[in-house]
Structure 1
Amino acid sequence: MRARMTAILSALATTVAMAVSGTPAVAAPATEYVAKLRVGGGSNTEFFRIHLVDANDITAAFASLNNQSNQFPNGLIVRTGPEYNIGYSWHLDPNDVEFVDFSIEVCDGLPSDVESGTLTSDRYCPWSARVVKMTPLP
């Protein structure tokens, strides 16, 4: 019991000393991100954002960002507001999105196709999408 109390007090003293010295604490890695994706090319280039909450999706998005993967998102379209997909009236459900190697053509297209209703599928899977930015959420 005494050894345990000594260990606790030592840890507390170290924590206080670090706080007083101004040494910044190491932040825990973010568990949620917003990924900004580029779709299309040339004059048909558009961007959209997805909220990522799954560790596998976050890893896949970083692989896309670092040109280590050609996977693209496939997610359920939610038409009740932009969430983090600013500029659009829709977003992908963060709990129903994944990065995939291939998908059916009916869900491919530009973000503006989803916005206008031209893309009629309940899923969005832009084959040319590549992650261009990852922003951690607090």
Structure 2
Amino acid sequence: MRASGLGRRIGISAIGGAFLLVMLAGCSGGSGGGTTVPSVATFEIEQQTFKIELATPELVQHAKALLAGEEVAAIPVGHIVRDDPSVNAPWSWHIDPATLEFADFTTEVCDGLPEYVEDGTLTSDIYCPWLAKVTSVQPIR
């Protein structure tokens, strides 16, 4: 019985230690350091820019990885919120930050320029510009 009790205490201690490490890593902002949430990523596609709010530390780190030229999923994908620019002024729309993901590939029905979202040419409720590149990641002030 004694070995079993000791094993249980070691297991609980190891779980507690792992939890503490995860919590400390979260506080430090991850490997990139200085992660600020919320932040905003600026994208450029064919000399047009648009902005998307990054609502989680993981999204901030992902956008910073893209900015650094790392090979990670690069296509921003999210639901369009029309008639509300939020962080995406002067456009009249923004991407709902709660729906933002990055993908390696998508269907072409959601691909296009920011102006296509603005003028209604892009009729999909989802925007996924294939050629968009991150040009900056900044904290929302």
Q: Same fold per TM (> 0.5)?
A: yes
Stretches of structure 2 that go unaligned for 5 or more consecutive residues are 1-33
How much does 1:33 deviate? Answer: 0.6
- Please tell me the residue identity of whatever aligns with 1:113: Y
Determine what percentage of the aligned residue pairs are the same residue. Answer: 43
Matches within 5 A, 1:108-127: 108-127=111-130
Aligned match for 1:89, one of 92, 104, 111: 92
Select the structure of larger CA radius of gyration: 1
TM-score (norm. length: structure 2): 0.71
Quote the Cα distance in structure 1 between the aligned partners of 2:59 and 2:109. 22
For the pair 1:50 / 2:56, whether they are aligned, the reply is no
Quote the Cα distance in structure 2 between the aligned partners of 1:57 and 1:100. 12
Stretches of 4+ aligned residues off by more than 2 angstroms: none
- Please tell me the residue identity of whatever aligns with 1:35: A
Q: Could you say what secondary structure the match of 1:84 adopts?
A: helix
Quote the Cα distance in structure 1 between the aligned partners of 2:76 and 2:35. 22
How much does 1:81 deviate? Answer: 1.0
Stretches of structure 1 that go unaligned for 5 or more consecutive residues are 1-27
Quote the Cα distance in structure 1 between the aligned partners of 2:35 and 2:102. 21
Q: Which has more helix, going by share of residues?
A: 2
Matches within 5 A, 1:63-74: 63-69=65-71, 71-74=74-77
How much does 1:63 deviate? Answer: 1.2
Q: CA RMSD in A?
A: 1.7
Check conservation: 2:49, 2:114, Cα contact below 8 A.
Answer: yes
For the pair 1:33 / 2:39, whether they are aligned, the reply is yes
How much does 1:29 deviate? Answer: 3.9
- Please tell me the residue identity of whatever aligns with 1:50: I
How much does 1:137 deviate? Answer: 2.3
Deviations 1:6-62 (A, max 9, x none): xxxxxxxxxxxxxxxxxxxxxx7412111000113xxxx210000010222212111
Residues 61, 95 of structure 1: CA spacing in aligned structure 2 closer, same or farther, 3 A cutoff? same
